[in-house]
Amino acid sequence: MHSEFDIIRHYFSRPAPSAVLGIGDDAALIATTAEKELAISTDTLVSGQHFFADTDPYKLGYKSLAVNLSDMAAMGATPRWATLAITLPRSLLDENEAWLAKFADGFFDLARVHQVELIGGDTTCGPLNICVQIMGEVEKGKALRRSGARPGDDIWVSGHIGDAALALAHAQHRMVLEPEEIALCLPALLTPTVRIELGQRLISLAQSAIDVSDGLMADLGHILECSDVAATIELNEIACSNTLKRYLPQPLAVNCLLAGGDDYELCFTAPKTRRKKIEQLSFDLSIPLTHIGKITAGSGLVVLDSQGRALKQEAKGYDHFNV
């Protein structure tokens, strides 16, 4: 079966000569003024696919904006405007109009934090589906792209990876977490932190960046493909929470770490010479930034275990058509 990316490549990737950057990165770039570019991205959340139908509407409103803001963070852009296309089942309105009020509160509470204005959208009746388009600004020529990684670069990730996937595994009864562990992991799945300021500060430090939405291996894989390079990362270096650590090296936990989606942390590459500055940035923003490996020449991603052996794990992340 075609992967999501085959479909995009085959049917939708056409030249867009008037865009600064078209299909293939976290956002497209359009030159709006002599000094600035507009970064544009869109993400859809589908009921039953990206969230459980009974998800708390406040958290759903929050997350539907958060996943879009994350693409702005990955470009180093400052988010400014959003549009919201929402499809609502009639039953949801008839039974409980409070649902919409809570959804809007979650959306606008996060919008306020990042000074994003909702400027349009579309409202239709049908199976619950939320599509947000986000627009942000970035100084001309400065946006972080997936294509800038060079051999010798360090690979870094922000925050902790894998908690969202761990919470999802619990919710889907693929494992059983203790109640206090659920309380620690669930926020990563329902109300992910967005790294806008980090993305902006990385403009002067990183060569390439992506947000980890589909899984670390898959998303780092996009950087490798777009930059035409290879990489080696060390499993033990990938920063994860104490909760996830407790389940390592169980295969499911390793999978959460390497291939679990929904983290919305940033994965970026930078020359070795910038290590001190990146550590200082981590301190300034109080965000853990962890060096997990290096970019090499060639192609492919190697993950080393604690003994320095290459893991056989495939670089699989979330793919809408191959789940």
Q: Is 178 helix (H, G, I), strand (E, B) or coil?
A: coil
Of these partners, Mg ion, ligand ADP, none, which one is at the site of residue 163 (CB under 5 to 8 Å by kind)? none
CB of 13 vs ligand ADP, minimal distance in Å: 7
By C-alpha distance, which of 167, 192, 189, 187 is closest to 178?
A: 167
71 lines the binding site for Mg ion (CB under 5 A): yes
CB of 254 vs ligand ADP, minimal distance in Å: 22
Please count the other Cβ atoms lying within 10 Å of the Cβ belonging to residue 321: 11
Of the residues 37, 153, 211, 263, which one makes contact with Mg ion according to CB under 5 A: 211
Task: Provide the residue count of the chain.
Answer: 323
For Mg ion, which stretch binds (CB under 5 A), given 16-24, 70-78, 88-96, 312-320?
70-78
Of these partners, Mg ion, ligand ADP, none, which one is at the site of residue 12 (CB under 5 to 8 Å by kind)? ligand ADP
Of these partners, ligand ADP, Mg ion, none, which one is at the site of residue 53 (CB under 5 to 8 Å by kind)? none
CB of 289 vs ligand ADP, minimal distance in Å: 20
**Matching residue, tokens 């030159």:** 31
CB of 151 vs Mg ion, minimal distance in Å: 24
- Beta carbon nearer to ligand ADP, 16 or 125: 16
By C-alpha distance, which of 299, 296, 294, 292 is closest to 258?
A: 292
- Beta carbon nearer to ligand ADP, 71 or 153: 71
Which residues have CB under 8 Å from 84's CB, separation 6+? 64, 107, 118, 120, 121, 122, 130, 131, 132
- Beta carbon nearer to Mg ion, 78 or 213: 213
Q: Within 13 Å, how many C-alpha atoms sit on residue 247's CB side?
A: 24
Burial bucket for residue 234 (CB in 10 Å: 0-12, 13-18, 19+): middle
- Beta carbon nearer to ligand ADP, 16 or 101: 16
Of these partners, Mg ion, ligand ADP, none, which one is at the site of residue 125 (CB under 5 to 8 Å by kind)? none
- Beta carbon nearer to Mg ion, 244 or 267: 267
Is the Cβ–Cβ distance between 274 and 205 less than 8 Å? yes
- Beta carbon nearer to Mg ion, 293 or 317: 317
Sheet of 78-88: strands edge to edge? 28-31, 36-46, 129-139, 78-88, 117-125
- Beta carbon nearer to ligand ADP, 71 or 137: 71
In angstroms, the Cα distances linking 203 to 76, 222, 319 are 6, 19, 29
Phi/psi of residue 178, nearest 5 degrees: -70, 155
CB of 215 vs ligand ADP, minimal distance in Å: 10
Q: What share of the chain is helix, strand, coil (3-state, %, to 5)?
A: 40, 25, 35
Sheet of 266-270: strands edge to edge? 208-211, 266-270, 154-158, 289-296, 230-234, 300-304
d(CA 106, CA 191): 10
Enumerate binding residues for ligand ADP (CB under 6 A). Answer: 8, 12, 23-26, 43, 71, 213-214
For Mg ion, which stretch binds (CB under 5 A), given 88-96, 145-153, 207-215, 243-251?
207-215
CB of 264 vs Mg ion, minimal distance in Å: 9
26 lines the binding site for Mg ion (CB under 5 A): yes
CB of 223 vs Mg ion, minimal distance in Å: 11
> Applying CB under 5 A, which residues contact Mg ion?
26, 71, 211, 213
